[in-house]
Structures are given as C-alpha cells and as structure tokens.
Amino acid sequence: MPELVFFSGTMDCGKSTLALQIEHNRSTRGLQGMIFTRNDRAGEGKLSSRLGLVTDAVEAAEGFDFYAYLVAHLSQGNRADYVIVDEAQFLAGEQIDQLARVVDDLELDVFAFGITTDFRSKLFPGSQRLVELADRVEVLQVEALCWCGARATHNARTIGGEMVVEGAQVVVGDVNQSPDEVGYEVLCRRHHRRRMTAAAAHAAALSPDVLPVDPSSPADSVSRSPSSRA
Ligand SMILES: [Zn+2]
C-alpha cells in the first residue's frame, strides 16, 4: 500500500540528507522519483543537504497544486514512481491534502520532510496537516544536539546570535549564518525557554557576573540576569 510518510525533526537533524538518500536508493533500483521543495537554502528548484549534496527539484511555490501537477506529468507519458517533498513545513494545509490524494488516487508513495515547529515552538501549518494526515510520522534518529550536549528539540531564531521570539513565521535563513543576519540554532527545550543560545552561553561564561556568587551577599544571586543561571 502506498503511504504518506512525514519525516520530522528540528533543523540540522539530517532531513534533506535522508531525502537525498531515499532518492539515491530508489533511483539505483531503477525507480524514478518526482522531487519537490520550497525555499531550499541552495535556491529555487534545488534540494540540498548541509553535507554538500544537491539535486534538482520542482519548486512548490504558494498556490502550487501537487495533485494537478502529477496528473499532468503522468498523462503526458512521463514517469513517477514516488514523490519526495522537502521543506514541507512551508506548504499550506491544502497542499498536504493534495499529497494525501496523490497517495490514495495515484497510488504513489509520498515522503515528506519537514521541521515540526517554528522558532516560537508552534507547529508550522504544513507540519500540522502532515501530523493529521500522514500514515506514518517518523521522528528522525539523526539527532541534532544543543550546545550543552542535550538532544536539540527546538528551533531558535537568532539575530546577531541573540534569540528572538517575535517576527514572521517564515524567514529563510540557516544555521551557521554570519552575525547580524537572521539565523537559526537548535536548542534543547530548557535552553530554548531560557533563550540561551551558544553565543549567549559563551558570553555569560566570560562575564564577571556569573563568577561564583559571594556567599556573603545572597541578594546578588537574586539580581543576576536569568541567562546566567543556565
Ligand atoms: Zn541545552
């Protein structure tokens, strides 16, 4: 039975690498996939992985109809044995419904890859609809780590290394951005709640106000900033 499978996780957990691996495994078995993505870091019409692999893809922009596209593709005599959709969190709910219809009516496997929650730890609309409709949800086992070494379960948006909690849901950026740009960092829940990015932790470690508190001045520990208590 064909399936709609949602491979979910944080940023930096290897989703695009797995998408490319699935594509590789199936194409070496003689199967032909249709690859879609949206807002990939490598630019329009590309599916890229942080490990440096890249392949061409169809850009599924706003209003793109997956079902109609695949019906047209197949009726023109082209082949598609399965479908891969990367950056599925950016899709509209109705586009996920179209993918479910591709599974049910065209009998193709659809492998969707996406970040579960945004920088405010709210579900992306595409991810929400995938959780609702998918035959299977796979939480990726290639686990990203917070700077503290704990499992990173949350995505933080940063500007100049500082975590921000307001702004548009979709601002394309990536981990390892240069300072002052919008970037992203994966954190454990504890450090996401405390807005403690790696840069903030580093700065706090160098700051005199986190040196061991003088036991003779207990008030000092109360007045310290929350970020120094991580
Ligand atoms: Zn942490």
Q: Any bridge partners for residue 8, and if so which? A: 114, 139
Told to judge if 143 belongs to the known catalytic residues of this protein, a careful annotator would answer no
Q: How far is the CA of 140 from the centre of ligand 1 (A)?
A: 19
Q: Taking the CB of residue 96, how many other CB atoms lie within 10 A of it?
A: 28
Q: How far is the CA of 187 from the centre of ligand 1 (A)?
A: 5
Is the predicted pLDDT of residue 214 greater than 60, yes or no?
Answer: no
Q: Is the domain of 84 the same as that of 167?
A: no
Q: Are strands 154-159 and 182-187 parallel, antiparallel or unpaired?
A: antiparallel
Alpha helix ranges (H) inside the chain: 15-27, 66-75, 93-106, 125-133, 189-193, 198-206, 218-223
Amino acid identity, position 208: P
Is there a domain that residue 217 lies in? no
Q: How far is the CA of 148 from the centre of ligand 1 (A)?
A: 4
3-class DSSP state of 84: strand
Task: Write down the catalytic residue from 3, 44, 87, 166.
Answer: 87
Is the predicted pLDDT of residue 167 greater than 80, yes or no?
Answer: yes
The encoded tokens of residue 87 equal 């950056």
Decide which of 121, 142, 163 is a domain's last residue: 142
Is there a domain that residue 189 lies in? yes
What residues contact residue 156 under an 8 Å CB cut-off, 6+ apart?
119, 163, 184, 185, 186, 187, 192, 195, 197
Residue pair 155/15 in contact by the 8 Å Cβ criterion: no
For residue 177, what is the DSSP state? Answer: P
3-class DSSP state of 118: coil
Q: How far is the CA of 19 from the centre of ligand 1 (A)?
A: 27
- pLDDT for 187 equals 92
Amino acid identity, position 91: L
pLDDT in tens, 89-132: 999 999 999 999 999 999 999 999 999 999 888 999 999 999 99
- pLDDT for 168 equals 82
Q: Is the domain of 148 the same as that of 118?
A: no
How confident is residue 40, by pLDDT bands cut at 50, 70 and 90? Answer: confident
- Residues present in the chain in total: 230
Is the predicted pLDDT of residue 209 greater than 70, yes or no?
Answer: no
3-class DSSP state of 100: helix
179-to-95, 99, 107, 159 alpha-carbon distances in Å = 35, 38, 46, 7
Q: Out of 114-128, 165-179, 213-227, which region has the weakest mean confidence (pLDDT)?
A: 213-227
pTM, full prediction: 0.74
Q: Is the domain of 156 the same as that of 132?
A: no
Q: Residue 37 belongs to what domain range?
A: 1-142
Q: What is the CATH number of the domain that holds 52?
A: 3.40.50.300
Phi, psi angle pair for 15, to nearest 5°:
-60, -50
Residue pair 80/107 in contact by the 8 Å Cβ criterion: no
CA distance linking residue 21 with residue 46, whole number of Å? 15
CA distance linking residue 56 with residue 129, whole number of Å? 26
- pLDDT for 206 equals 73
Q: What is the CATH number of the domain that holds 158?
A: 3.30.60
The encoded tokens of residue 119 equal 């920088």
Closest listed residue to residue 139, CA positions, set 7, 2, 4: 7
Total domains in the chain come to 2
- pLDDT for 202 equals 85
How confident is residue 178, by pLDDT bands cut at 50, 70 and 90? Answer: low
